Amino acid sequence: MRDIIIETEAMTRFDAAVDAVVTAGRGLSGFVLAYGQAGRGKSVAADRYHFQRGGAYVRVWQGWSQTAFLQRLLFEVRGKNMDMPRHTGNRCKEMIVELLDENRMPIFVDEADRLKIDRIEDLRDIHEMTGAPIVLIGEEGIFGLLSERRRIWSRVAHEVAFGPISPAEVGLYGMQAAGLDIPPEASSEIAKRTEGDFRLVRNVCLLLEKAAKASGSFTVDRPMLETALTSRPWRRK
């Protein structure tokens, strides 16, 4: 099976939202909030945009202090093969602002719902000083985090919801990743059983591909589908 990324409707909206804040003037830039359950493609969309168009990308670690977070952010904003900074948190913030003043770029913060609100305030400070767009990626819990501070929430320029992938996207993924011909009815059932979780859809397609190779037919029929769907409980109760 090939490691591919399909262009979902949510990814298209994400690209458009980030493009809008990147191309806006300094005074019209803002935060982008990309949210949804795990497995809905948020991180894939952000990583792809960062890889193709640039920016600084930070994936949050649990329990980061201000210093640890800003050291990592400075490391990514530098964008060079340099040692991890060992400055204080405040000095890191000053250096990040200096760099972004010279080269404005979007900052992607993945799993942002794991941050403490004071780290979001650090990002607001950086945004206010430089106009650099801030893209926060997280699960629905991020709304509770941001609602604590109206001055942050008011700077959210775009919200992008990542919902379940559609049956059509299931069929497209199966074809491009594994050469599977998944009929619409089967695609709908896969989408329903996995609740549109991209990772689970991938795992179903792995089983279908194995069955297709064994049978010599890559058209998914009812027995192949039943075998894949009954191999495990695809969603926890």
Structure tokens at 107: 């900052």
- Give pLDDT, residue 235: 67
Residue ranges and CATH numbers for the domains of the chain are 9-161 (3.40.50.300), 167-229 (1.10.8)
Residue type, 196: G
What is the token pair recorded at 133?
């767009």
Dmax of the chain from CA atoms? 62
Instruction: Extract the tokens encoding 101.
Output: 């003043």
pLDDT for res 236: 57
DSSP states along 116-176: -HHHHHHHHHHHHHH---EEEEE-TTHHHHHTT-HHHHTTEEEEEE--PPPHHHHHHHHHH
Query: pTM of the predicted model, to two decimals?
Result: 0.90
Give the whole-angstrom CA distance, residue 62 versus residue 73: 15
- Which residue shows structure tokens 């609602």? 147
Per-residue pLDDT of the chain (237 residues; tens, 9 = 90+): 898 889 999 999 999 999 999 999 887 889 999 999 988 999 999 999 999 999 999 999 998 999 999 999 999 999 877 889 999 999 999 999 999 999 999 999 999 999 999 999 999 999 999 999 999 999 988 888 887 778 888 889 999 999 999 999 999 999 999 999 999 999 999 999 999 999 999 999 999 999 999 999 999 999 999 999 988 877 655
Which pLDDT belongs to residue 72? 96
CB 220 within 8 A of CB 180: yes
Residue that is written with structure tokens 């979902």 in the block: 8
